[in-house]
Amino acid sequence: MLTRLEIDSELYLSVLDQNDAPALALYLNEKEIHDRTLQIPFPYSEADAHWFISHCEQLQQEHGHVINWAIRLKTGELIGGIGFHCKNMGSPIAHRDEVGYWVAKPYWNKGIMSRVLPLVCAYGRDVRGLRRIEAPIYAWNIGSEKVLLKSGFRQEGYLCKSYFKNNTFHDAKLFALIY
Ligand SMILES: CC(C)(COP(=O)(O)OP(=O)(O)OC[C@H]1O[C@@H](n2cnc3c(N)ncnc32)[C@H](O)[C@@H]1OP(=O)(O)O)[C@@H](O)C(=O)NCCC(=O)NCCS
Give the model confidence (pLDDT) of 164-175 as tens digits. Answer: 999 999 999 999
CA of 151 to the centre of ligand 1 (A): 12
Mean pLDDT of the region 106-118: 98
Choose the residue to mutate in 7, 11, 109 for probing ligand 1, maximizing ligand atoms within 8 Å of C-beta: 109
Angstrom distances, CA of residue 52 to CA of 60, 123, 146: 12, 21, 27
pLDDT-derived band at 53 (thresholds 50, 70, 90) equals: very high
Residue 108 three-state SS: coil
Atom of ligand 1 nearest to the CA of 102: 39
Q: Which amino acid is at 79?
A: I
Residue 57 three-state SS: helix
Mean pLDDT of the region 153-177: 97
Q: Which residues have any ligand 1 atom within 6 Å of their CB?
A: 33, 36-37, 101-103, 108-114, 137, 141-144, 146-147, 150
Q: Whose CA is nearest to atom 17 of ligand 1?
A: 143
pLDDT > 90? residue 158 = yes
CA of 164 to the centre of ligand 1 (A): 22
Beta 154-165 vs 96-103: how paired, if at all?
unpaired
d(CA 100, CA 82): 6
Q: Whose CA is nearest to atom 3 of ligand 1?
A: 102
Give the pLDDT score at 168: 96
Using CB atoms within 10 Å of the CB of residue 135, give its burial: 0 to 12 exposed, 13 to 18 middle, 19+ buried: buried
Task: Please state the separation of Cα 26 from the chain's center in Å.
Answer: 17
Partners of 101 in the β-ladder = 82
pLDDT > 80? residue 21 = yes
CA of 107 to the centre of ligand 1 (A): 10
Q: Which amino acid is at 155?
A: Q
Give the pLDDT score at 89: 75
pLDDT-derived band at 92 (thresholds 50, 70, 90) equals: confident
d(CA 136, CA 145): 10
Residue whose C-alpha is closest to residue 148's, from 174, 172, 122, 170: 174
